[in-house]
Amino acid sequence: MKSEEIRQKFLKYFEANGHTIIPSASLVPQDNSSSLFTIAGMQPLTQYFLGSKHPAGVRLVNSQKCVRTNDIDEVGDKTHLTFFEMFGIWSLGDYFKEQSIKQSFDFITSKDHLGLDPSRLYATVFAGDPELAPRDNESFEIWKSVGMPEGRIYFLGAKDNWWSAGDNGPCGPDTEIFYDITEEGIGDLSHEEFVKATDNQKIVEIWNNVFMEYLKKDGKVVGKLEKQNVDTGAGFERLTTVLQKADSIFDTDLFSGLMAEASKFTSNTRSQRIISDHFRSAVFMISDGIVPSNTDRGYILRRLLRRAVTKTDKKKIEVAEIDSMVEVVVNKYEYAYPNLKTEEENIKKVIKEELEKFELTIEKGFKEFEKMKSKGVDGKEAFVLFSTYGFPLELTLELAKDEGIEVDVNAFYEEEKKHQEASRTASAGMFKGGLQDHSEMSVKYHTATHLLLAALREILGAHVEQRGSNINDERLRLDFSHGEKMTDEEKQRVEDWVNGAVMKDLGVSWSEVSVKEAKENGAVGIFEDKYGDTVKVYSVGEGDNVVSMEICGGPHVERTGDMGKFKILKEEAVSQGVRRIKAVLE
Ligand code: SER
């Protein structure tokens, strides 16, 4: 059975049973959820479990695009993916356990539908937990009534049979359906044997019926929802693997085209799988408007694309190859996701631009790695690759692994920390010693540097990021990312912008906020990717009149008024894509 047929059978069966087919939501969560991506079919429907009325009714069905990156390092084995589709069937306060289990069983086993062998099925049900909810005897009885032998129904705890999307929101016990994928067939198993067989992937989960009738707040069940809902999910790729009796997800028709493309890059199966998975994810992410960047979703996309490249033998994917990979995905999926076709050219363009950028980084990094490797690459050297050449640690680790070299990751982080402390001490030192008026002058230059960066971002564009800065009591120097020489007019506009802010005599203030909050407020600066940490953010201006917001340790002037007149002395190239401005306050 081809994957297209599985999808159609699924949607049609549940439609015939009174469910309305709804489209997949975007991979970018549209609610204010804290997750970067849509990670489950029910996630976009959360509000409807909590009581809102869904415009399409109380019975819904769809296939939802999802991205989960927590298992990214496992991708390359037989089962893990970063992008996947989740088949979902929902009852919003309509039918409950009995109909849910019966129709799932019918669809899975009936010859007209999936036609899987019922004697290879197993079910698990919730064993109960004093903190959550009682044992689910009802589901156990329903399973027996459809003909599941008692010895193939296992009671498991919350770790396996309780589902919630996070610490807050709807949740409940679930019953999961497993299928024996071994050639010979295993037959009846004791509880322990069953658990072992699932660990060994001889028996795999194919279906999950969650009975959402509880509400969680801050990780604790606080009561029941207004209505009893069902959230049924089944991984499309997993079902396809089982139905096609494929050895791995990558041996199904969903991946045959991509794997054929990837086999041109390398003969290593694991690498082919990683390239195929990451490319497919990237195509879907870009089709939902995500672009590569250094933070959040954009960073994940960047990492997926870069990692795909590093898995090729040549460490390069040519433009024509990008085109054919994108075409393979678009052609395979446009029947279900027509926006892939309309976005096709844009997807190709985004990937090409990103990989061109990466090529520059990687060329330098690989060269340096080659030089280093005969002496071994320790954490310190990995840090040099990262700090000097922008070569990601994860790539160094991958290269090192291929060469059988061990890199001490902790040493890398220690080095990074030392580096940060050193630069902090240096900037603190710069503002401490010296005569009073000198110090005051440096502080003025420091604030002027913030204003300059804000002006450059305003006038040249938001691609401008600080690459370095050096301040003394006579001038400031700022290195920033920008591809071209600035025109005289641009320099003039930047000067005018900074002087405008000086003339307005704006107040300067700081606050200590979480990294997340700083990002959301649009602050610029170095984000160390540690959620939960707080950072100091300096703002110039107040309310609607904030002209600069930057993560920084300070110190700064209290008001911009007496800083003097800002003048650019020189604008020049430092390296490819990085410019330097020297400026004074007169
Ligand atoms: N929410 C459940 C899951 O993701 C069922 O759809 O497994």
pLDDT at 421: 64
CA of 463 to the centre of ligand 1 (A): 39
* DSSP code at position 53: P
Centre of ligand 1 from the C-alpha of residue 176, in Å: 10
Which residue lies with its CA nearest to atom 5 of ligand 1?
233
Q: How far apart, in whole angstroms, are the C-alpha atoms of residue 478 and residue 450? A: 10
* pLDDT mean across residues, the chain: 89
pLDDT at position 531: 38
Question: Which of 163, 178, 216 for a ligand 1 pocket mutation test, highest count of atoms within 8 Å of Cβ?
Answer: 163
CB of 85 within 6 A of ligand 1: the answer is no
Residue 32 above 90 pLDDT? no
* Cα–Cα nearest to 37, from 22, 25, 49: 25
Q: Using a pLDDT cut of 90, give the percent of the chain over it.
A: 65
Nearest CA to ligand 1 atom 3: 233
Confidence of residue 541 (pLDDT cuts 50, 70, 90): very high
Please tell me the number of Cα atoms within 13 Å of 505 on its side-chain side: 2
Q: How confident is the model at residue 535 (pLDDT cuts 50, 70, 90)?
A: confident
HSE-up (13 A, CA, CB side) for residue 288: 24
Domains of the chain, each with CATH number or no CATH: 3-251 (3.30.930.10), 255-356 (no CATH), 374-428 (no CATH), 440-585 (3.30.980.10)
Residue 39 φ/ψ, nearest 5 degrees: -110, -10
Does residue 555 have a cis peptide bond before it, meaning omega lies within 30 degrees of 0? yes
Contact 127, 114 (CB under 8 A): no
Determine the atom of ligand 1 nearest the C-alpha atom of 42: 1
Please report the pLDDT score of residue 433 as a whole number: 26
* SS3 label, residue 246: coil
Q: How many Å apart are CA 40 and CA 86, to the nearest integer?
A: 7
Please check if 482 is assigned to a binding site.
no
Q: What pLDDT score was predicted for residue 429?
A: 35
Helix 296-310 with 393-403: angle, nearest 10 deg: 20
pLDDT in tens, 372-383: 888 878 888 888
191 is in an annotated binding site: no
Bridge partners (DSSP) of residue 235 are 86
Q: What is the dihedral of CA 493, 495, 499, 502, to 10 degrees?
A: 120
3-state secondary structure of 15: helix
pLDDT at site 193: 97
Which residue in 264, 251, 257 sits closest to 321, CA to CA?
264
Q: To the nearest 10°, the Cα dihedral for 491, 494, 496, 500?
A: -170
- 167 Cα to the center of ligand 1, angstroms: 15
391-439 pLDDT, tens per residue? 877 778 878 888 888 888 888 888 877 776 655 444 333 333 222 334 6
Q: Please give the pLDDT value at position 139.
A: 98
Q: Which of 64, 176, 210, 213 to mutate to test the pocket of ligand 1 (most atoms within 8 A of CB)?
A: 210
Mean pLDDT of 532-556: 83
Residues 6+ apart with CB under 8 A from 518: 525, 527, 535, 537, 551
- Point out which residues pair with 480 in neighbouring strands: 466, 579
Pairing mode, strands 508-514 and 566-575 = unpaired
Position with higher pLDDT, 581 vs 423: 581
Q: What is the pLDDT of residues 291-347, one digit of tens each?
A: 988 777 888 999 899 889 989 988 899 999 999 999 999 999 999 999 999 999 999
Q: Is the pLDDT of residue 532 over 50?
A: no
Q: Which atom of ligand 1 is nearest to the CA of 208?
A: 5
Q: What is the pLDDT of residue 33?
A: 58
The CB of 175 under 6 Å from ligand 1? The reply is: no
DSSP-derived 3-state class of residue 520: helix
**How many whole angstroms from 147 Cα to the centroid of ligand 1?**
24
Torsion of CA 429, 432, 435, 441, to 10 degrees: 90
Region 120-127: mean pLDDT is 98
| Digit-coded pLDDT (tens) for 165-210 | 778 889 999 999 999 999 999 999 999 999 999 999 999 999 999 9
Q: Which of 123-127, 176-180, 442-446, 582-586 has the lowest mean pLDDT?
A: 442-446
468-485 mean pLDDT:
87
Query: ∠369-372-373 over CA atoms, to 5°?
Result: 80
Q: What is the pLDDT, as a whole number, of residue 2?
A: 97
In the beta sheet, which residues pair with residue 578? 481, 575
Query: Relative to the CA of 234, which ligand 1 atom is closest?
Result: 6
Question: For residues 254 and 244, is the Cβ–Cβ distance under 8 A?
Answer: no
CA of 234 to the centre of ligand 1 (A): 7
0.85 cut: is pTM over it? no
Question: Of the residues 66, 70, 86, 176, which should be mutated to test ligand 1's pocket, given the most ligand atoms within 8 Å of the CB?
Answer: 86
pLDDT digits (tens, 9 = 90+) for 453-474: 999 999 999 889 887 778 888 8
Is there an atom of ligand 1 within 6 Å of 163 CB? yes
6-34 mean pLDDT:
90
